[in-house]
Chain A
Amino acid sequence: MGKSRVAVIWSLAAAVGMLTAGCGQGLLGGSDTAEDKGPITLGMLIPQSGSEAAIGPYMKNAAQLAVDEINGKGGVLGRKLELKVADDACDAQTAVSGANKLVTEGVKISVGGYCSGATLPTLPVFGKANIPMIIPAANSQELVDQHLKHVFLINGTGTQQAAAAMAWITKQGARSVALVHDNTSYSKDIAVRTQALLDQPGGPDTAIVEAVTPKESDYSANINNILAKKPDFVYWTGYFQEGGLITRQLRQAGYKGGIMVGDGSVSEKLAQIAGAEAGEGVYATMTQTPDTLQGAQTWIADYTKKFGSAPGPYSNQAYDAVRLAAEAVKQAGSTDGAKVTTALEGISGFQMFSGPLKFTPDHTLSTGGFQILVLKSGKFALQDALK
């Protein structure tokens, strides 16, 4: 009951935000030329509160590092870059009001987006303001399926993640696979796509597709359902809090087969929640992390020196998003949204952590770059690059 009250308040706040954003557009619309001398602002929506708050600082710091490096080399088109961050709390309403705030502040390119569910409603907000979006982390297929011209994804998509999962499941020689998701668009998407691959003739089969309610503590009823089908492999596609609990409760119930989690669950907290014993040997499908990057030692050292802590998941993607934004502005010779979009579509061979960049017609990476990590003494380490 309390939650629905909040929803009402937030949607009111969002409506007010939209109104003021509209006004801002009208007032600032003509002053574009006056702004041409000032810094180019990049906007970043990331979770700084809520259940996924742990990720926010990794992305923000990495983006700031890229901004400072580019400014140190003289900026772009003779102008400095400036980073503006807003909180999306991994929540749709908060994300929309945050996006409106960034639009009012005059950002030229959006370089944020972690939770797919929170990023999805911000697409039209940035779209109307003619702001291209380079999304570093959010990767639900729903972001792609709308075929919006201003949206670019530099993380692997759900389809690519499902393919990587399937490759590893086959390699492990599993026969019967249980898919577990939390009914959010991101998580269900991966589960459904993996199921489609499993259902093809030959190879492993789907034992069960089980949906759980997020934010609970006791998943024994779901685990009972899963174990009744006697799977020899379990793939969890949601986030780390439930992932840790499910891993622990599966092992407590005597499950001995393989467990794998999706990229939303790659966090050391998963290992802590599952406990050292239950967590050991859990696999994960994940794009590159700072720990698994080849030849990134200097970058990691720079980051650690500047912020006093090591980079984490999605630091590299956030860093690349800013660099890519700068490159696109440079090639377009302007910060105009349409010109930057065209430049992004034309970019070929731009070197990123995930390899040389060339967007597909869908504005996604041509290869997802997914690899398999394994949990060893509380840390995720590279198991198989799937090359």
Chain B
Amino acid sequence: MSQLIWNGLFVGSFYALVALGYSMVYGIMKLLNFAHGDIYMLGAFTGFAILGAVGGVSPGMALPALLGVLVVTMGVTGLSGVVLERVAYRPLRNAPRLSLLITAVGASFALEYGMRAAAGADPQVYPLRLGGTSVEVLGARVTLQQIALIIVAVALMAGLNLLVTRTREGRAMRAIALDPRTSALMGINVNAVISRTFFLGSALAGAAGVMAGAYYGKIDFLMGFLIGLKAFTSAVIGGIGNIPGTMLGGLLLGLLESFGTYWLGGEWRDVFAFGVLILFLSVRPTGLLGERVTERV
């Protein structure tokens, strides 16, 4: 039982990290950024390229080296997110919602197949791996690397939450989410705040990409597709646009998958997880912590 919970929480923390970017962007500009999963893929490949350029790292230095790579990659993917918004989304800000959605799907394909052209269709293997032996904790097999990754993920999420709830910048984001036009009248630079939101969300996805690359080892140009879909699901379960809700949603989806596999077997896992999702949303359409949306007139 504790093993199932641990597995679910570990996978769920990846979902949550990626889901945050979805949720923040949706919260601020009501855009489903389908290219977000591919930013995760971009992060994994950026980390791979940096590690390749640096060359050999001694095993003892693996964790500090990875943390360094993580920070650089977050900067790179964050900036890519800003560029993506500037190029693909800002010109369409006042266009119908459907055009934005299609642009997002287009951006997703552009990133996927652009990466295929750049790095090839073959899967790549990370030169630096977080392996290690497992220890028993309350009857569950846990590796120290898993704990390290979870700590990094929790630290990133806690940092984001502080930023959004406690700082001036975060207040500006929340204001725009409530009403972009009035925010602009109050002297908030809406474009700049949206750019920064994309930077933050994409940086988190990039971090998740590097962590997945280092832990699982294998990366390929389509790796962002499935996790993008799951992250979107997590965001909806938790209440899209709500940051603590999104984190909870990611963990919940991880747990649903873990228990679904255990109760019904591998082939029924997704049927179970997504069946629960449908049930859940028909009872509570706004998600776990999502607020009831009142139409603004």
CA distance A269 to B125 in the complex (A): 8
Cβ contact within 8 Å between B216 and A217: yes
CB of A103 to closest CB in B, whole Å: 26
CB of B267 to closest CB in A, whole Å: 4
CB of A280 to closest CB in B, whole Å: 14
Any A CB within 8 A of the CB of B7: yes
Cβ contact within 8 Å between A273 and B218: yes
CA distance A30 to B35 in the complex (A): 51
List the one stretch of A68-76, A167-175, A192-200, A245-253 in contact with chain B: A245-253
CB of A241 to closest CB in B, whole Å: 6
Residues of A near B4 (CB, < 8 A) are 221, 224
CB of A274 to closest CB in B, whole Å: 8
Cβ contact within 8 Å between A275 and B217: yes
Q: CB-defined interface of A233-275 with B at 8 Å, one 1/0 digit per residue? A: 0000000010011001000111000000000000001001101
Cβ contact within 8 Å between A225 and B265: yes
Q: A49-B116, A224-B3 are in contact. Are A273 and B125 (CB under 8 A)?
A: yes
Cβ contact within 8 Å between A222 and B122: no
Any B CB within 8 A of the CB of A201: no
16 contacts between A and B (CB under 8 A): A1-B229, A2-B34, A53-B121, A211-B267, A216-B226, A217-B212, A218-B7, A218-B14, A220-B11, A221-B4, A245-B216, A248-B131, A252-B131, A252-B134, A269-B125, A273-B217
Closest to A274 in B: B217
Beyond the given A2-B108, A51-B222, A218-B216, could you list 16 further A-B residue pairs with CB under 8 A, ordered by the A residue number?
A1-B105, A51-B121, A54-B122, A210-B265, A211-B265, A217-B223, A220-B7, A222-B266, A225-B261, A225-B265, A241-B123, A245-B216, A252-B134, A269-B123, A269-B125, A275-B217
The size bracket of the interface on A is 35 or more
CA distance A215 to B258 in the complex (A): 17
Residues of A near B223 (CB, < 8 A) are 215, 217
Any A CB within 8 A of the CB of B109: yes
Cβ contact within 8 Å between B105 and A224: no
Any A CB within 8 A of the CB of B257: yes
CB of A200 to closest CB in B, whole Å: 23
Cβ contact within 8 Å between A224 and B218: no
Any A CB within 8 A of the CB of B141: yes
Cβ contact within 8 Å between B121 and A50: yes
Any A CB within 8 A of the CB of B198: no
CA distance A218 to B226 in the complex (A): 12
Cβ contact within 8 Å between A254 and B141: yes
Residues of B near A3 (CB, < 8 A) are 225
Partner of B269, one of A51, A221, A272: A221
| Size of interface on B: residues with Cβ below 8 Å to A | 41
Residues of A near B212 (CB, < 8 A) are 217
Any B CB within 8 A of the CB of A212: yes
Residues of B near A216 (CB, < 8 A) are 226
Any A CB within 8 A of the CB of B129: yes
Q: Tally inter-chain residue pairs, CB-CB below 8 A.
A: 100
CB of A344 to closest CB in B, whole Å: 33
CB of A156 to closest CB in B, whole Å: 26
Partner of A252, one of B3, B8, B143: B143
Any B CB within 8 A of the CB of A213: yes
Residues of A near B269 (CB, < 8 A) are 213, 221
Q: A2-B225, A216-B226, A254-B141 are in contact. Are A224 and B7 (CB under 8 A)?
A: yes
Residues of A near B229 (CB, < 8 A) are 1
Residues of A near B120 (CB, < 8 A) are 53
A76-134, CB < 8 A from B: none
CA distance A5 to B7 in the complex (A): 33
Q: CB-defined interface of B85-129 with A at 8 Å, one 1/0 digit per residue? A: 000000000000000000001001100000010001111010001
Residues of B near A241 (CB, < 8 A) are 123, 218, 220
CB of B7 to closest CB in A, whole Å: 4
Q: A213-B266, A275-B129 are in contact. Are A220 and B10 (CB under 8 A)?
A: yes
Residues of A near B131 (CB, < 8 A) are 248, 252, 275, 277
Any B CB within 8 A of the CB of A183: yes
Residues of A near B34 (CB, < 8 A) are 1-2
Residues of B near A254 (CB, < 8 A) are 134, 141
Q: CB-defined interface of B221-259 with A at 8 Å, one 1/0 digit per residue? A: 011011001000000000000000000000000000110
CA distance A51 to B221 in the complex (A): 10
Residues of B near A54 (CB, < 8 A) are 122
Cβ contact within 8 Å between A224 and B261: yes
B32-77, CB < 8 A from A: 34
Closest to B129 in A: A275
Residues of B near A225 (CB, < 8 A) are 261-262, 265-266
Question: Of A5, A216, A241, A254, which is in contact with the most chain B CB atoms at under 10 Å from its CB?
Answer: A216
Any A CB within 8 A of the CB of B291: no
Any A CB within 8 A of the CB of B179: no
CB of B3 to closest CB in A, whole Å: 6
Cβ contact within 8 Å between B141 and A273: no
CA distance A119 to B68 in the complex (A): 46
CB of A242 to closest CB in B, whole Å: 9
Question: Of A244, A252, A269, which is in contact with the most chain B CB atoms at under 10 Å from its CB?
Answer: A252
CB of A132 to closest CB in B, whole Å: 30
Cβ contact within 8 Å between A253 and B141: yes
Q: A216-B226, A221-B4, A254-B141 are in contact. Are A248 and B266 (CB under 8 A)?
A: no
